[in-house]
Structure 1
Amino acid sequence: MDFVEILKAILLGIVQGITEWLPVSSTGHLILVEDFIKFNLSQTFVSTFFVVIQLGSILAVVVLFFSKLNPFDPGKTGYEKKETLSLWIKIIVATVPAGVIGFLFDDKIEELLYNPTTVALTLIIYGIIFIIIENRNRRPKINNFDGLSYKTAVLIGLFQMLALIPGTSRSGATIIGAVLLGTSRYIAAEFSFFLAIPVMLGASGYKLLKSGMVFSGTEWLALGTGSLVAFVVSIFVIKFLMDYIKKHDFKVFGYYRIILGILVLAYFYIIK
């Protein structure tokens, strides 16, 4: 067993847990961090690891929002159970666009877009968009999930398709889309979390099947360790973000993305 590889998985799990829920691109950060601490494991495993590690982050959402997402909760009234089922339908219809495109073009997207240039440019572009949107400072029209129509859910799902480009951020794309469509920051963030459940489950399952799941003992341990760390870190990060946006906007993440994007370009094209 190679303990150095397990330590790398722990570090990447921390990065995943922090960046999955903040609108700063987890995939982009993982690609960049792995350039410094490259796995000495099979390329098939590395490609699978970056997707499947997200399962830990998904579990954090399920644990934190279990009551809200459970339509069979005995403590809910009949109306509340009906609204929870309605929320799940909205989640599913919003998942379809990205799910279909991701399934059809996964290999081509990975081949053409998984590179530092794409990551840097999308970090900068969406950072600018976040700042522009927040400067508009419009009053939200949708402050609860009852007011979120199926049409709006589908439109948010179309924005989620942008996250197939590494560096965009799945949460960032859906939050931008939701806010532009009139939701509050709080509802935008929560709906982004909920959309992650079917998206990541589907992507992880597909990646595992595609890989053949023929990994060494060290690789399986690295995958499990990274996912566990991502779960624990995600718990704290989700709680932090939901408290943060009660009093603050998303501009700080926009500035962070721009600075990081510039640093990435400088590192790969000047320093390296």
Structure 2
Amino acid sequence: MHSIFEAVIIGIVEGLTEFLPVSSTGHMILAQSLLNTQNDEVMKTFDFVIQLGAIMAVVIIYWKRILSLFGLVKRKSESARGKKLNLLHILIGILPAGVIGLSVNKIVDEKLFNSATVLIGLVLGGILMIIAEKKKEKPSVTVMDDMTYRQAFYIGLWQLVSIWPGFSRSGSTIAGGMLSGVSRAASADFTFIMAIPIMFGASGVYFLKNYHALSTNDLPFFAVGFIVAFIVALLAVVSFIKFVQKMKLTYFAYYRFALAIVFALYLYLS
């Protein structure tokens, strides 16, 4: 049985890292290695459930834009040409991860949820971010409303690499958006909104697949982790989103490299 202490620590880690391009999943796996938690089906399901708690903070911040996608709220376009992001952009963006992610999630669960693969993902994801920042052409799209369907699909394709733990969903899609001609700020906005259906879907799939391994004794563990992740994420989300929109991905890449080196030494020496 997992402890409430583990739920609090991992919930804090998730809440702080979900909105940064540093891989929240990778950080949770590394935190669990430090805590010596049992890497079982309960913990893997827990990881996805508390990510859903953090994503709820995005729902609160972007609630008007989300409702506008369904035509429930009128919103003034940020595009100089009067265009608006619509639901089809989101559906196109989540399609690649939704289709391919479901087909490979068993392999990911069994082979990739460990510290060694996370360290590889941290390094490779950091390299991708540096490449994106080195692109010299000015972005053709500076606000999310001006994104084309093709760009939404390209960003969705880049999200596929985040299936590898440590790559980071936000890091991959923001970098992919920049390589597709979308500004860092617009890519970040689209990334956070696109994460909502992705995480709801992933959490649902994991719960349905592993609910038989859960018991009523696990409910406090899940509830505490979910609530902690939600509260921490809600406190951090506004400043972190603005931070990610403005700060170059290169600095996050350097952090990822440093974290990979520190944990590689820790794993080698322990």
TM-score when normalising by structure 2: 0.90
SS in 2 for 1:212: helix
| CA separation of 1:114 and 1:246: change in aligned 2, threshold 3 A | closer
Structure 2 match to 1:24: 22
Letter in 2 for 1:92: L
CA distance in 1, matches of 2:245, 2:50: 29
Contact 2:33 2:115 in 1 (8 A): no
Match of 1:53 among 44, 50, 54: 50
1:73 deviates by 4.5
Q: Deviation string for 1:3-55 (max 9, x for gaps)? A: x8112101101111111110001111111111122346x82211210111111
Structure 1 match to 2:183: 184
Within 5 A, what are the aligned runs for 1:108-257?
108-212=107-211, 215-245=214-244, 247-257=246-256
Aligned-pair Cα RMSD in Å: 2.4
Structure 2 match to 1:7: 5
Unaligned runs of 5+ residues in structure 2 are none
Letter in 2 for 1:261: A
1:109 deviates by 1.6
CA distance in 1, matches of 2:37, 2:45: 12
Letter in 2 for 1:197: I
Q: Deviation string for 1:149-202 (max 9, x for gaps)? A: 111111110100101001100111111100111111111111110111111011
TM-score when normalising by structure 1: 0.89
1:146 deviates by 2.8
Contact 1:92 1:198 in 2 (8 A): no
CA distance in 2, matches of 1:232, 1:57: 8
CA distance in 2, matches of 1:99, 1:13: 25
Contact 1:5 1:39 in 2 (8 A): no
Structure 1 match to 2:33: 35
SS in 1 for 2:239: helix
| CA separation of 1:152 and 1:247: change in aligned 2, threshold 3 A | closer
SS in 2 for 1:234: helix
1:69 deviates by 1.5
1:263 deviates by 1.6
CA distance in 1, matches of 2:256, 2:111: 22
**Corresponding position: 1:64 with 2:61:** yes
Letter in 1 for 2:55: I
Structure 1 runs (4+) deviating above 4 angstroms are 77-80
CA distance in 1, matches of 2:77, 2:141: 23
1:83 deviates by 5.9
User: What is the percent sequence identity of the aligned residues?
Assistant: 36
SS in 2 for 1:70: helix
Letter in 1 for 2:14: Q
| CA separation of 1:76 and 1:24: change in aligned 2, threshold 3 A | closer
Letter in 1 for 2:101: G
Contact 1:87 1:145 in 2 (8 A): no
